[in-house]
Amino acid sequence: MFARYNKVQQAVLETTLRLIIDKELQATSMSLIAKESKVSTGNIYHYFSSKEDIINELYKAIVQFNGEYVTKNWSDADPVRVRFERAWENVIRLGMEYPQGFQFIEQYSFSPYIYEASKLEAYKGGWCGPLEAVYREAIAAGLFKPGLEPRLMVQMHYGSFVYLLKAHLQQYLELNEETIRSAISSSWNAFGTDKAVMT
């Protein structure tokens, strides 16, 4: 997840992520990060310019990782429906395999603590653009109803899966393969035309 950083930076970033998810940002002090990562405070400041800097590096690293994960296993050559399913499957799998990173982005993507510059940099590595294109294509092919903006559709579907994951991570409900397939298929139906329904 933090492959492009050195050992010390990795230790700090991993520890910070864990602490923030477990205990919340305000309860995550530099001295605690130092103790748990086994890197002295002085040395942390050798590699990061401030606490804010750590959080922002964390943000950028996770967003990039997530972006790569979600756009895996599918390409423009695949049929629209396949791309749709793979992408959302990836989103769910990402949330289940890397819950801390997922929760971190969920909690802090609108936080003033994250610099606008980090958010901008994040957007470039994101997957919203590619997915929007898939939806646009689905509309053009008559598989999705026209009328709503692709951007809005993606936003709604993303929200669905985020909340599914939240409920799962909170042990509020269970997610098995069958349920995931079913949820993705239902999502398709929300915007799908008769032509597109084949479930």
Partner DNA sequence: ATGATTAGAATGAACATTCGATCTAGATAG
Partner DNA sequence: CTATCTAGATCGAATGTTCATTCTAATCAT
CB 87 within 8 A of CB 71: yes
Looking at the DSSP bridge assignments, the partners of residue 144 are 192
177 touches, from DNA, a second copy, none (C-beta below 5 to 8 Å by class): none
CB-nearer residue toward DNA: 26 or 171:
26
Helix (H) or strand (E) holding 165: helix 150-169
Cβ 9 to DNA shortest distance, Å: 9
Applying the rule CB under 7 A, the residues between 6 and 35 that interact with DNA are 8, 27-31
50 touches, from DNA, a second copy, none (C-beta below 5 to 8 Å by class): DNA
Cβ 107 to DNA shortest distance, Å: 17
CA–CA separation, 93 vs 89, rounded Å? 6
Counts of helices then strands in the chain (DSSP H, E): 10, 0
CB 84 within 8 A of CB 188: yes
CB-nearer residue toward a second copy: 117 or 173:
173
Cβ 7 to a second copy shortest distance, Å: 30
The position carrying tokens 């969920």 is 106
Hey, what's the torsion of the CAs at 112, 46, 44, 58, to 10 degrees? 40
Query: For the window 137-166, what string marks contact with DNA as x by the rule CB under 7 A?
Result: ------------------------------
Cβ 191 to a second copy shortest distance, Å: 6
28 touches, from DNA, a second copy, none (C-beta below 5 to 8 Å by class): DNA
Contact pick of 42, 112, 146, 147 for DNA (by CB under 7 A): 42
In this structure, the number of other CB atoms found within 10 A of the CB of residue 106 comes to 14
1 touches, from a second copy, DNA, none (C-beta below 5 to 8 Å by class): none
Q: Which token pair is 8?
A: 């010390």
